[in-house]
Amino acid sequence: MFYVLSNAEAVNVTAGEYWLDSDPGAGNGSPFIVAPGPSPNIAVSLPFEALGIGLHALGVRFKDDRNIWGSSEVRLFYVLGNTTANDIVAAEYWLDTDPGAGNGTSIAVESGASPIVDVDLPFNALSVGLHQVGIRFKDNRDVWGPSEARLFYVVSPIQAAAGNTLVAAEYFLNYDPGPGAGVPIPLPTDGNWDSAFETITDSIEHIPGGKYWIAVRFEDERGVWGSMIVDTFTVLPLLTILPANPPLLNWQSDSSSMYYIHRAASTNGPYAVIDSTTLRTYTDTENPTAPVSRFYQITQRIDGQFSAFRLPPEPNQPAERHDTKSTRRRAQ
């Protein structure tokens, strides 16, 4: 479902409701008081005492002055039986697929409130590519806590390259198209592929805001592609500042999430959050004491999921060149 706006309408929130664990449908949740306006502040008391121990979901949504309910914003939370410290008595981990509490691979753990565990993962049994590991603990009440999960990448064994010369390099974002099918990286800084060690530079632009993983790999004169080097990065909104008084900030972003405006007295910070908005523009009406200059950063809320955007765009399709931009600007 989607709603088409005839223009950039400004709407006011007139009502709000929440639900716990099961969404009863728009207009059927538990209402709470909302002061009408475009971005009201709310305070809601939840009936935690009526909830059972374990994982729960909280959903919140709002209705505007056109009588249209927005989509729910959902967060997970965990209800504990009491606030006293409990001893950890068991632990387990899982790889890629969560089999459910108590069904993972057991980890030896000493009983205590904050035990230290040492886990040897079976990396040799995993395929090359992106994987996920989750770990959770059980306390002396026989209650399993939620999993703490992390992503990691298994690369192919490093091959001996003594005496070999590099002849090509490539990178890709979020999806491995296979050796030789990534985005080609231009010639090294010295202009030639003629050594076992080369210095390369490249840039990327026009990437939507979000979280990404990037991988780089090299090919030698035998036609053998080496293992990849993997890292992650986050693309933030592109900020521009009009030299007005007060300063007017504008930024570009493909999403409509909550944005946070940070300000500092110097480019190295510290930066403090001065406001938030769901718009893509902001006027700084505050006037710091005799500012020589103001420095701003815009951040947005990004979940732990990687962006669906990828380079190369599709398998067996020609790759496109892109470049990245800085999100920090200075206003005089």
Could you tell me if 107 and 130 lie in one domain?
Answer: yes
Single residue among 79, 100, 118 that ends a domain in this structure: 79
Any domain includes 4:
no
What would the mean pLDDT of 89-106 be, rounded to a whole number?
93
Any domain includes 269:
yes
Residue 183 has pLDDT above 60, yes or no: yes
Can you say whether the dihedral through the CA atoms of 28, 30, 33, 39 is positive or negative? negative
Residue 110 has pLDDT above 80, yes or no: yes
What are the angstrom distances between the C-alpha of 3 and each of 23, 215, 326?
21, 38, 33
Could you tell me if 186 and 314 lie in one domain?
Answer: yes
pLDDT band at 319 (very low <50, low <70, confident <90, very high): very low
Residue 317 has pLDDT above 80, yes or no: no
Could you tell me if 250 and 196 lie in one domain?
Answer: yes
What would the mean pLDDT of 27-41 be, rounded to a whole number?
88
Q: Structurally, how many domains does the chain consist of?
A: 3
Any domain includes 5:
no
Single residue among 56, 79, 102 that ends a domain in this structure: 79
Which domain covers residue 125, as residue numbers?
88-154
Could you tell me if 316 and 174 lie in one domain?
Answer: yes
Any domain includes 93:
yes
Q: Report d(CA 20, CA 283) in Å as an integer.
A: 37
What would the mean pLDDT of 57-71 be, rounded to a whole number?
92
Any domain includes 247:
yes
What confidence score (pLDDT) does residue 331 get? 33
Any domain includes 330:
yes
Single residue among 54, 79, 104 that ends a domain in this structure: 79
Any domain includes 253:
yes
What confidence score (pLDDT) does residue 27 get? 93
Could you tell me if 109 and 176 lie in one domain?
Answer: no
Q: Report d(CA 88, CA 3) in Å as an integer.
A: 49
Could you tell me if 194 and 247 lie in one domain?
Answer: yes
**Tokens matching residue 210:** 């979000």
Could you tell me if 59 and 118 lie in one domain?
Answer: no
Could you tell me if 249 and 322 lie in one domain?
Answer: yes
Q: Which residue has the higher pLDDT, 201 or 59?
A: 59
Instruction: Quote the Cα angle for 90-93-98, to 5°.
Output: 120
Could you tell me if 201 and 178 lie in one domain?
Answer: yes
pLDDT tens, position by position, 147-182:
888 888 887 765 544 567 888 999 998 888 889 988
Highest mean pLDDT among 139-153, 246-260, 296-310: 139-153
Q: Which residue has the higher pLDDT, 127 or 162?
A: 127
Average pLDDT, the chain: 80
Could you tell me if 64 and 175 lie in one domain?
Answer: no
Q: Report d(CA 138, CA 144) in Å as an integer.
A: 4
pLDDT tens, position by position, 251-299:
776 666 788 888 888 888 788 888 888 888 888 887 665 566 788 888 7
Could you tell me if 48 and 72 lie in one domain?
Answer: yes
Could you tell me if 209 and 300 lie in one domain?
Answer: yes
Q: What is the pTM of this model?
A: 0.38
pLDDT tens, position by position, 42-59:
888 888 888 888 889 999
Any domain includes 7:
no
